[in-house]
Amino acid sequence: MNRLVAPSLLSADFGNLNKDIEMVNASQADWFHLDIMDGVFVPNISFGFPVVKQVKKLAKKPLDVHLMIVDPDRYLERFKEYGADVLTVHYEACTHLNRTLNQIRALGMKSGVSINPHTSVELLDDILEDADLVLIMSVNPGFGGQKFIKNSLKKISRLKEMIVAKGCNTLIEVDGGVDISNAATLYSAGADVLVAGNAVFGAASPVDVIDKLKKS
């Protein structure tokens, strides 16, 4: 089982972003997680292409880009251009999800699909072969620092069963309310990648928290 950690830069210090990027580079983290929000699909606006481009210049690890935006198909090529290695779109935002995921792969990125807390994992059954990653939102997307939704554990376990039954290599990523207290439980349920924002960047020693998340 994979145990990957992707610190979320949404919780980083944007007044000193270079320092936080260097910290992640030097840590045991595996990916940089970047949340792109448009203020329409979710009730918040984060950052766009200039920040992604700057992170890519400094990052020594893959960029895991999560699009929380409407009509993501318009921007797939640009996110590839600006450095995305993994590109995740929302099930709820894509009219032709199969086409979108295959286009992401055709552009040379890993394809990801995310589902909101109210969306059933069963709806992904027909596209699991097209997704390199499924991101389960364990909070309602849009803001950091929210409380973990416990029902997410059942969704992780069920999704793992579906992936195994199909013989896929699809990774399960979890984002929202992830910290040292629930990391082991999430891995046990079937998670492969943990996204952590406040738990990492709000800690006295972010490097130690990342290490503990990896070893949970």
Q: Which residue in 20, 175, 179, 192 is the catalytic one?
A: 175
First to last CA, the chain: 13
35 is catalytic: yes
Which residue among 20, 35, 132, 192 is the active-site one? 35
List the strands of the sheet with 86-90, edge to edge: 4-7, 193-196, 171-175, 133-137, 110-115, 86-90, 63-68, 32-37
Give CA–CA dist 27/190, Å, rounded. 24
Closest CA to 142 of 33, 52, 6, 41: 41
- Is 130 known to be catalytic? no
By annotation, the residues acting in catalysis are 35, 175
